[in-house]
A = this chain, B = another copy of it.
Amino acid sequence: MHRIARNRLAAALVVCLALTGSAVSTRAQDSEATTAAKLRDAALKDGWGYRFLEGLTTEIGQRLAGTPAEARAAVWAEKALKAAGFDTVERESFPMTAWLRGEETASVVAPAPQALVVTALGGSVATPKQGVTAEIALFRRYSDLLAAAPQSLAGKIAVVTQRMPRVMDGGAYGAANPIRRKGPSEAAKRGAVAYLLRSLGTDNHRLAHAGATNYEADAPRIPAAALSNPDADQLERLAARGKVTVHLVLTPHSEENARSWTVSAQLNGSARPDEIVLIGAHLDSWDLGTGAIDDGAGDAIVAAAGRLIAQLKTRPKRSLRVVLFGAEEMDYSGPAYAKAHAAEVPHIVLAAESDFGARKIYAWQKPIGSAKTGFVATLADTLTPLEIFLAPQPALRSGDDIAPLRKLGVPVIAMRQNGLDYFDIHHTADDTFDKIDRAELDQNIAAWAAMAYLAAQSDLDFRKLAADAER
């Protein structure tokens, strides 16, 4: 499949680059289009981003927020960005409470003794050291749990086995998220002593998907973990036969006063350096894999895009800032950045984040209010040879790290990746470098380099366009 994708991409480029060349000269509005096309084409044969990702995932590996591994990654990234030709590189820290995985085992005690594969949800409290053993109450739909009466789960382990559908744009993840984020508190309100959910994942491997949960203030905090998909199937089959008793041991702990790190690198604008185009990704990862698709790929994409622009003879008019956020998986990064950089936020004219893996971009979304601008026309033409189309809807959101900036009035632009297999790997031990297809990663870098350059070179007031459109 990778080989076919690579060949198709190559064939399309041979045809389309020729077409673009003539299209650009026909339009011939400006040299920006030519420069953007050159950046795009250079990215496709550059390879720096792929090597960056190989280095990060090999020399650091997992980068759990607030741990020494994440701190090592920040030092590693700072060094790599300094070598990449940015004007300034900064590494700054912020406080957080770290959450550290402990032992995590589960098993069916009766009627058919067997091991289950689970992983604790981020933020979960621990079970007693000897674990909890209880009958399960299994719900095939989350709504059935929500419909359960108060105390109907007293003394039981609640299990939700609703399956998340496989969709290209990842939209099913948002819809399923409450099962993980809110399920533990909803189960606890009904008397449950622990909570298990079918992993929010589309694979069928014996690897559970991690991810953070959020306890509500008015419910007891109960231990919570995700089952691998085959284990959720197994509990469904056993529960269909009668009563099932499960034993669960989780021993995570939290560390107050931990610190996470943000690494940012900037190219100072040649005409209006105080205006900032921000492209970001997150540097932290879950601890089970090595954070290749989530989100080492995003780090590689934005860093490589910035590096290519740094190699131009002249800086774009605006400043371009590459930000590698810390502690995204623990929900700290976006708010921490918006707070620490509050004074700068009014100067961020456009922002975007890459945090959905390393598969090809198939569509992009323009900033709100920019529909009839030369910026959109030129970027659309530049991206067409990469097999990327302009989606009809403008970008309403980008990654989670950007969301707080968006709320503060920063418009966003979005590159939409093929996420069909993203949730096969996301938050599992399988998130490793071998899953990366270099041609697809390079296509991302090509698109981001062109987009970031054109945005930084543009004279458009994206903030005003967005504000006018949203009025």
Contact = CB atoms under 8 A, between A and B. Distances in A.
Interface in A423-466: 428-430, 432-435
Contacts of A237: 54, 58, 433
Contact of A434 (B59, B108, B111, B230): B230
Interface in A149-208: 204-207
B435 A206 contact: no
A264 interface: no
B204 A205 contact: no
B58 A430 contact: no
A112 B58 contact: yes
Contacts of A205: 205, 207, 430
A322 to B, nearest CB: 24
B429 A290 contact: no
Nearest to A59: B112
Nearest to A428: B206
A206 B204 contact: no
Contacts of A109: none
A204 B59 contact: no
Contact of A206 (B54, B58, B289): B289
A432 B112 CA distance: 15
Contacts of A114: 61-62, 290
Contacts of A111: 59
Contact of A69 (B60, B113, B430): B113
A432 B238 contact: no
Interface in A232-269: 233-234, 237-238, 241
A441 to B, nearest CB: 16
Residue from A59, A290, A432 whose CB has the most chain B CB atoms within 10 Å: A432
B204 A435 contact: yes
Interface residues of A, number: 35
Contacts of A290: 114, 234
A229 interface: yes
Contacts of A433: 230, 233-234, 237
A352 interface: no
A117 interface: yes
Nearest to A61: B114
Interface string A280-304: 0000000011100000000000000
A61 B432 contact: no
Contacts of A58: 112, 234, 237-238, 241
A429 B61 contact: no
B230 A432 contact: yes
Interface string A50-72: 00001000111110000001000
A62 B112 CA distance: 10
Contacts of A234: 58, 61, 290, 432-433
A150 to B, nearest CB: 33
9 contacts: A59-B111, A59-B112, A61-B113, A61-B114, A62-B115, A69-B113, A204-B435, A206-B288, A229-B434
Interface of A: 54, 58-62, 69, 108, 111-115, 117, 204-207, 229-230, 233-234, 237-238, 241, 288-290, 428-430, 432-435
List 8 tightest A-B contacts by C-beta distance, closest first.
A61-B114, A206-B429, A230-B432, A58-B237, A59-B112, A230-B434, A204-B434, A206-B430
